[in-house]
Amino acid sequence: MKKLILVLAVLSLLACSRNSDVELEKKTMFTLPYGVLDDELTPLAASKIAMNDGFFYIIDSSLAKMMKFNSYGDLLLLQYNQEKNPVQILVHRNKDNAPSNKAAIPFPYREPTQIAVTDDQAFFVADTLPEEETLWSDTYSCMLTGTVHCFDPHGKLICDLGQEGRAGVTPFSRIIRLEATEGRQLVVHTLTPKGQVIYWFDENYKPVYSILADKSILPQDETEHHIVDMDSISASRTEPLLFIKADYYSENGEDIDFYKSSICCYDIAQEKCIWSMDIPVAETLYQLLGVYGKDHIFLVCPDENDTYRLLVLDSSKRIELNTPLALGHKDIQLLELSLGSHGIVTALIAYEDEVSAVWWRSDKLLEEKK
């Protein structure tokens, strides 16, 4: 079995090498210093980044604030917890000490952890509820502690979401991902001891689907004789589909050997996996970054020489891109990768003395492939 796996790995890597592209250039859009002012970040904070049409949304969980920047690094919108942040200055005054048209909005974030942005710049932020509002779930054997704040493009709160949708009274378990579709729908990914539970809401914040994404939804002929790790899940931006990246392992006596990684496309409406495919093997297992369009599947994994490798597959099992992402720096303290609009890979990179918002124009290479 080990020899077979090794042969498959070599063949996969050779297949990738024949489709390799030139290294994508990292472009630093702007940098942020460390600190507690309006446009600063807490060192090594649990920060998240989302990008849509050149606007960057960054969460600082430690300071409980959300910042919106344009591509030049100008702070356009700040939402901040007044108890955790000092008096805001930069958004109220410009260099001539005249009033600024930038917005600073107090908002009682507790511990914002995830963010997603629609094409019209409305956005969603996952947050933690006060202890007195949390509930225990007998169904999933865990505490329900999360909510989602829904904002219009100007940062005005529209509503808070629970499992029942708008003004829902049942919180979510720990929210690990938010995704917005092209139709302004929202997909909430939560984690429970029994697996990921995913909630899909329409543009009016009404629940449409909910599903326990455990190994029972994968092709049973693949799961029957293997240990399965459902590594990551991403939603389609155009249809009610989930793309599930799973790693399979075989028991060999007292050892557990890696067998393969695959992608399953699960149709939520039909409640079945409509296709699956194996993905190439690398030195380090690929992680599912996201899905762009109908079926551009973005996967990344650490590579040599301070780079990551970007692999883009389509539903026909074709490799559209196989190219390195140059980080260009060895002194990286923290890396947060995200798939932005139009298939642009973005990242928040923390160095010793500052944080950079960067992107790699993977969309241009995809256009060249058409």
DSSP tag of 101: S
| Per-residue confidence (pLDDT) for residue 112, from 0 to 100 | 96
DSSP tag of 93: B
Beta-bridge mates of residue 186: 180, 201
The residue to which tokens 């029972």 are assigned: 216
Are residues 112 and 58 in contact, defined by beta-carbon separation less than 8 angstroms?
no
Question: Which residues are CB-neighbours of 123 under 8 A, at least 6 positions away?
Answer: 50, 57, 115, 116, 117, 151, 153, 180
Residue 115: phi and psi, rounded to 5, are -150, 145
Amino acid at 133: E
Which tokens in the block code for residue 107?
Answer: 């908002």
The model carries a pTM of 0.89
Burial class (CB in 10 A: 0-12, 13-18, 19+), 251: exposed
| Per-residue confidence (pLDDT) for residue 10, from 0 to 100 | 36
User: Kind and range of the H or E element at 11?
Assistant: helix 2-17
Which tokens in the block code for residue 211?
Answer: 């599903």
Estimate to the nearest angstrom the gap between the alpha carbon of 129 and the chain centroid: 21
CA-wise closest residue to 320 among 365, 261, 279, 263: 365
C-alpha distance across the termini of the chain, in Å: 39
The residue to which tokens 């720096």 are assigned: 329
Burial class (CB in 10 A: 0-12, 13-18, 19+), 31: middle
Compute the residue count for the chain.
370
Euclidean distance between CA atoms 172 and 5, whole angstroms: 40
| Per-residue confidence (pLDDT) for residue 1, from 0 to 100 | 42
Structural domains in the chain, sorted by start: 2-369 (2.120.10.30)
CA angle 12, 15, 16 (to 5 degrees): 90
- At 234 the three-state DSSP class reads strand
Euclidean distance between CA atoms 261 and 251, whole angstroms: 16
Pairing of strands 255-267, 272-278: antiparallel
| Per-residue confidence (pLDDT) for residue 252, from 0 to 100 | 82
CA-wise closest residue to 77 among 131, 156, 193, 23: 156
Estimate to the nearest angstrom the gap between the alpha carbon of 43 and the chain centroid: 21
What tens digit of pLDDT does each residue of 197-249 get? 999 999 999 999 999 999 899 988 877 888 999 889 999 999 999 999 999 99
- Quick count: other Cβ atoms within 10 Å of Cβ 96? 5
H-type helices in 117-232, by residue range? Answer: 220-223
- Which segments of the chain have a pLDDT < 70? 1-22, 45, 88-101, 330, 368-370
Q: DSSP for 16-36, please give it.
A: HHTT--PPBPPEEEEEEEBSS
Torsion angle of alpha carbons 116, 324, 231, 298, nearest 10°? 50
Which tokens in the block code for residue 313?
Answer: 């597959």
